[in-house]
Structure 1
Amino acid sequence: MIAEKLSITKFQLFFVLIQTQIGIGLLSLPNVVQKSAKGDGWISIILAGVVIQGLLVVYYKLLKKFPNNTLTNITQKILGRSFGKVVNYIIYFNFILTGSIATILMVKIINLNLLPLTPGWIISLLIIIPCIYLTISDLRIIARFFVLVSGLIILLLMITILAFFIPKEIQFILPIGSAGVKNILIGSNSALFSMLGFEMLLFVFPYVIRNTTGVLKTISLANLFVTSFYTFITFLCLITFSPDQLQQLREPVIYLFRGLSYKMIDRIDLIFFSIWIVPMTTSIIAYLFLASKSISEDKKFNKKVVVINGILIFLISLIPHTDEITTILNKYVSYLSYAIVIALPVILLILSFIFKRNERGETT
């Protein structure tokens, strides 16, 4: 059983999932979905949310069969110890790459919008150090921090109200469905990659107090919140910028506030971005935690593993990355993520029913 001091509540689980999902991907999401789905990009995000909800149900059914085990242990119980370890190292590799990409993109955006003269390695170091410091704490501390900073999301929603003072053109999204089913589904695939992070459930479920009841409702509400938040921001961008403008703006969410100016407050876009740095950082913390848990046999992972993983992410972020290289890396990491986030849990659930595996890893 999980020690009481390491456990988290369902309330904390809600915010852990939100903070893991909401991150740097939102800034460019309207640009990404508009490339294929055009004005129907907001529909693509809703469909992505539906797919995620289905995956969460799969996760929940799998984890209910192994309520005291993380994905790391479940793979070994179902696939065998040797092959399970191989799979776990693939999962570890994916989380390291995902955390590295998030760090690289965050450094690039900060360099471009806030600190153009600051060397990238300094920004990366300033990001990684607090991430390591928080991750070496127990999960309850991480969860409390995520709950605390979630208030900033409400503040960001309040700031977006100011964007309604910018002229809007509802015709940019009309007629609804004009992009076609195929293009909407392609946009949905792009949105799904930006909304990754819900796989956190596979590693924190055993730590949730009384995880046999009420968890499905909690994770469903978290998914509903994230999907609604992403849909709202994307919809706002779609009716603010023309299709040609969205193609040219790589981070349209930031530019959404650039045209706003008041006598007492100026550069609202910088205020928004400065606040958004926190949700971007929590995503890196989450993936650093996931990478460390994916190769840990015990309930409490070694703090040295966290430090080593943090250093590894920092070193990868120092490698020169052109836009072309980053795009290619994103593409292959997305394929690997889908295999781990979608295919693996489904396969494990099917095998658990076929071989009737229980909590002890024995055939019933």
Structure 2
Amino acid sequence: MEEKMIPKNTSISRFQAYFFIVQTQLGIGILSLPNAVQRIAKGDGWISSIIAGIAVQLTLIVYILLLRRYPNDTYPEIIQKVFGRFLGKFCNIFIFLYFILTGSLALKLFIICINLWLLPLTPIWIISMVILMACIYLTISELRVIARFFVLASFLIGLLLFLSLLTFNLPKDVQYILPIGSSGIKHIFLGSHKSLVSMLGFEGILFIYPFIQNREKGVFKTVTLSNLSITTIYTYFIFLCLISFAPAQLPMIRDPLLFLFEGLSYEMVDRIDLLFLSVWIVPMSTSVIAYLYFSVKSISKVKTYKKVIWINGVLIYCISILPMDEKKIDIFSKFVANLSYIVVFALPFILLCFSVLINKYKVSENT
């Protein structure tokens, strides 16, 4: 098959692809995930994170098998080739709606966190507008520019890890996670659902794959390494929070990681949690940028790219400023999580199965 010519300004290296996926997965979720997992899996929450990482890896194998069958086509084009024009367009619209809702949820949780910790007197609609304008500005750029920004933003992960090491001066008790496995297999797997939802973003490989340079040689290693990195980071911070807070205390703390950093205090520096959150705004923004980009790529063509970005941005903004209490946000999160099982896990697997059957049918027809 003759390879399509990808413009240089839209192609990215495997190095950039690695950080693109990592930054899409890592954001607001890491701040509150220990709380969500502990509610279900208790002290075995760190095991739930590992199981979620294994599930992501199996899904990535399906992705790569599918993408290698159509190496020069974008994901929306693959869907239309396999399902046909009418059903394919319907699926692409469904994917578009999923990314709009996921981006809206990410932005909603983002602005609630900022409003709660940093700007309690600032109206939510202003915070959302400022953040989204910055995200739209970057998304209008080509993929290479976005990827470069994600690489730079990834250096802040080092700050996160450094601060976490400082917390080992605070009281810790390994007894909080013992005995290992006491929560039972059922609760451990239910807890992995929470981890899996926080790890979403790896589906971005479906959209950036055709633009990766030398993708035939090592893309699978790249996505595997990104998954290993994210699984290790999430597992580490869940474990850290589990041994830092009592089992009865952790479920009552909304953002355990920020609360943990709040305990760090030095003569020259105080309220490290607020300083960290002010910097962590950048990695939290990358998730919104990524989902805005995916939503545009699901339905738009090159000529309408910038126009659709603004339309999608307005949609995400309108949803993000809707008045929601904690109960409604929980319902919204569960709805998006259920949609993710269809879009992120089921649909690519069905596409792979159908593409194999279609290929076998063509082979048998030619013989």
Q: TM-score, with normalisation over the residues of structure 2?
A: 0.96
Aligned to 2:288: 284
Aligned to 2:16: 12
Aligned to 1:345: 348
Aligned to 1:121: 125
- Are 1:43 and 2:67 an aligned pair? no
1:224 and 1:106 mapped to 2: Cα distance? 25
SS at match of 2:262: coil
- Are 1:55 and 2:50 an aligned pair? no
* C-alpha deviation, 1:120, in angstroms: 0.6
* C-alpha deviation, 1:301, in angstroms: 5.5
Give the paired residue count: 360
* C-alpha deviation, 1:5, in angstroms: 2.2
* C-alpha deviation, 1:160, in angstroms: 1.1
Q: Which of 334, 337, 347 is 2:337 aligned to?
A: 334
Aligned to 2:306: 303
Judge conservation of contact 2:43–2:178 (CA < 8 Å) in 1.
Answer: yes
- Are 1:250 and 2:257 an aligned pair? no
1:280 and 1:363 mapped to 2: Cα distance? 52
- Are 1:21 and 2:25 an aligned pair? yes
- Are 1:238 and 2:246 an aligned pair? no
Judge conservation of contact 1:172–1:243 (CA < 8 Å) in 2.
Answer: yes
User: What are the Cα deviations for residues 191-243 of structure 1, in whole angstroms up to 9, with x where unaligned?
Assistant: 10011000000000000011111000011001100110111111100000011
Aligned to 2:103: 99
Aligned to 2:152: 148
SS at match of 1:8: coil
- Are 1:182 and 2:169 an aligned pair? no
2:35 and 2:160 mapped to 1: Cα distance? 20
1:234 and 1:277 mapped to 2: Cα distance? 21
Q: Which of 225, 229, 234 is 2:233 aligned to?
A: 229
Aligned to 2:161: 157
Gap regions ≥5 residues in structure 2: none
1:363 and 1:98 mapped to 2: Cα distance? 44
Residue type of the partner of 1:356? N
1:59 and 1:99 mapped to 2: Cα distance? 22
2:203 and 2:300 mapped to 1: Cα distance? 17
Change (3 A) 1:357 1:147: farther
Aligned to 1:220: 224
Judge conservation of contact 2:21–2:202 (CA < 8 Å) in 1.
Answer: yes
Change (3 A) 1:311 1:356: same
2:366 and 2:266 mapped to 1: Cα distance? 68
Residue type of the partner of 1:270? L
Q: Which of 317, 322, 341 is 1:319 aligned to?
A: 322
SS at match of 2:151: helix
2:136 and 2:301 mapped to 1: Cα distance? 20
* C-alpha deviation, 1:43, in angstroms: 0.4
Question: What percent of counterpart residues are identical?
Answer: 54
2:266 and 2:67 mapped to 1: Cα distance? 51
* C-alpha deviation, 1:296, in angstroms: 2.1
* C-alpha deviation, 1:4, in angstroms: 2.2
Judge conservation of contact 1:37–1:186 (CA < 8 Å) in 2.
Answer: yes
* C-alpha deviation, 1:357, in angstroms: 8.1
User: What are the Cα deviations for residues 245-288 of structure 1, in whole angstroms up to 9, with x where unaligned?
Assistant: 11100111110111221101100111221222111100000000
Where does 1:77-92 land on structure 2 (aligned, <5 Å)? 77-92=81-96
Judge conservation of contact 1:72–1:297 (CA < 8 Å) in 2.
Answer: no
